[in-house]
Amino acid sequence: MNVKISHTAAAQKFLEEASGLQNDAGSPRVKALVYRILRDSVNIIEDLAVTPEEFWKAVNYLNVLGARQEAGLVVAGLGLEHYLDLLMDAEDEAAGKAGGTPRTIEGPLYVAGAPLSDFEARLDDGVDPGVTLFMQGQVLNTAGEPLAGAVVDVWHANTGGTYSYFDNTQSEFNLRRRIVTDAEGRYRFRSIVPSGYGCPPDGPTQQLLDQLGRHGQRPAHIHFFISAPDHRHLTTQINLDGDEYLHDDFAYATRDELIAKITFSEDQARAAAHGVSGRFAEIEFDFTLQSSAQPDEQQRPERVRALED
């Protein structure tokens, strides 16, 4: 028999007490969030007849998730981070904010304070023997005019699918740079072609995805924060065309407007013009920013995991 008590006056009073709503200390916002989480959690326990064994298995799962630092993977894999994008898109549409390069998920692997350079940069440290990549483009406003002095903050994985700072075998700020655009709004960088990657096969995220009958793979991609004075900060990423998981990204980050054409070449005359030899790749991609007079829309969002500049 599934007994339900969550809607009784005594239960509601208990949940209010547990979430701090009956005292004047603490944060009202945190209290409201915790109360809703508790209320919805007890409803789930009752509606789905969660057993003590299932309850403690879930508690242990959270312990393992934290120990493996995979919370960022789970929220991406369950579509919650993508849902934030959908919600913000809807808010923009309702407010009449249109145009520009689409946003997409940020992911949990950004680190602030990457080296800053004017107009161009080399992202890789030369250790990874991946295919050399040359990428360039412009940062524009919605009228198609170049934005000089915009900052292109770029980060991506190596050929093993791992990121510096989270992979201690890589050098500091490897594959991470900030580039200030030139008078024509142009940026360019040299790096290596990143690899797609999957959730750790022995980790709690993949364990959950297995229970859902889903894979945990991501296509090759490159992350960007793009910012310029008097314009909205853009959080986005490009996915590289031709990848097996391009339209089957477990994190739901692919958007058609963000698929970048990557061209591989053996042209040694062109390679020499780039100062390299052998096989290389090229990408050209422009970013368009919406204008904004609101300072809070122009700034990179604060993140606990981001280092101070």
Condensed to tens digits (0 to 9), the pLDDT of residues 70-93 reads 999 999 999 999 999 999 999 999
Note the pTM of the prediction, 2 decimals: 0.93
Question: Residue 306's closest CA among 106, 15, 36, 50?
Answer: 106
Condensed to tens digits (0 to 9), the pLDDT of residues 165-207 reads 999 999 999 999 999 999 999 999 999 999 999 999 999 999 9
CA angle 265, 225, 71 (to 5 degrees): 100
Average pLDDT of span 151-162: 97
Condensed to tens digits (0 to 9), the pLDDT of residues 32-48 reads 999 999 999 999 999 99
Q: DSSP alpha helices (H): ranges in the chain?
A: 9-18, 28-47, 52-67, 71-77, 80-95, 204-211, 268-274, 295-298
Q: How far is CA 276 from the centre of its chain?
A: 31
**pLDDT on residue 309:** 45
For 74-298, give the CATH class.
mainly beta
Q: Which helix (H) or strand (E) holds 133?
A: strand 132-141
Domain ranges of the chain: 1-50, 74-298
Q: Which helix (H) or strand (E) holds 176?
A: strand 176-180
- Block residue for tokens 């992979």: 167
Contact status, residue 242 vs residue 221, Cβ threshold 8 Å: no
Condensed to tens digits (0 to 9), the pLDDT of residues 201-232 reads 999 999 999 999 999 999 999 999 999 999 99
Question: Residue 192's closest CA among 219, 153, 237, 155?
Answer: 155
**pLDDT on residue 178:** 97
**In the predicted structure, residue 17 carries a pLDDT above the cut 90:** yes
